Structure 1
């Protein structure tokens, strides 16, 4: 068999004359013919065995050429096409975007993706189930809050915050409790930060939650006179005007809506609206320095000169 393989390997450069010579040698040398063509060859089978040998030679070299072609390194263009298709099939890029990149840029993105895949550590079944159960539990425990409940909670929040702050100050300094004025708004500011972090600038999709989101934005963001809320306020009747000195905020209770504002910030209220507010009693307002400054600011905005 070793001799046969050697003959096949050497035969790739043989011409017709060379094959005639091989044929002659095989016919003249019985031992060589036995090793290459088989031990039981008969005279009438000699031509058929020679044809089989030639066919084996052709098949052998065809396989060698195919193997060499497969092992041939890809050109830069072929390699870029391969990497582009891989990135596209992984869903990280669109083909139209990849075509605009150079070979080096495509290779960089390809190497990043391969590195991510190689560093990926699959989660066990128990870990996946644990995360899934947590998510299901969060969804099942979620209870949407109505707009009316949100308004009531905000009002209660202001009252509780004021009570807790005064109680804390009283415990710290009993002898100065009457003179101490609460000025911190940490809880209210934190509430605004949490809501904005959760919903961003676009706001929630739920109608009632969006009203609460708008309420906090009106309080804390820079007021714009072009905001439709201020023209809408001017068309509604004021029911009450309430001040929360602990939160340093005041609230306009209007027909079908409430507007909460910070006491140290000027809002684009019309002069007529400010005059109407000043004619009403400021409910729950303690005449401290913050409340006094609010009233002075409203008088100035209403155009009242003293």
Structure 2
């Protein structure tokens, strides 16, 4: 239904992504009805109707009967052509998707499963990553926190912050966990006493990026440091950085 609405109803991804299944179904049924009810201006039914007005009542009645029969045949043929065209278009889209070597995460329009857990994996000193686990059992791996922001919305960031904070409520993070902990604390609990803010004068900003899906800014420095911030929070910047 989503594919049909995008390519036949000209709906955009942003118009569809926040709608529930029931809303998508109603839009789909409305588009189908509009197309099924459409009659071209040069169709036989219009021609026969105009011709019938110029004829006598006897010939008009006969013409209407013949027109009705022809309309039924034309409607069936037209519907079959439309169905065949639609099936062919969908087949092409499916062929394109199935032939793609990139992995595709299929997600319900009505439900996005919450993050329920996370794990840190260290295969070697240079090969470490985070594994994000969602409520439906699906997982995805990320090397650093900024990679997560491409997929996350605001709720994902909140869930991960809560889980990480609960785990280290009575223990101190170590190793690769300290990086994730530091990024999340900078976002939700910015403090002038943190080293990342105390040493701002040593940084040179080389890039700024906004992840609008989750409302997080990221400042990338020449030292390789990334500072993450919520768009609504005020952070303790020095004047030179501002």
TM range (shorter): 0.3 to 0.5
Give the helix-richer structure, 1 or 2. Answer: 1
Q: Normalised by the size of structure 1, how large is the TM-score?
A: 0.32
TM-score computed with the length of structure 2 as normaliser: 0.40
The structure that is strand-richer by fraction is: 2
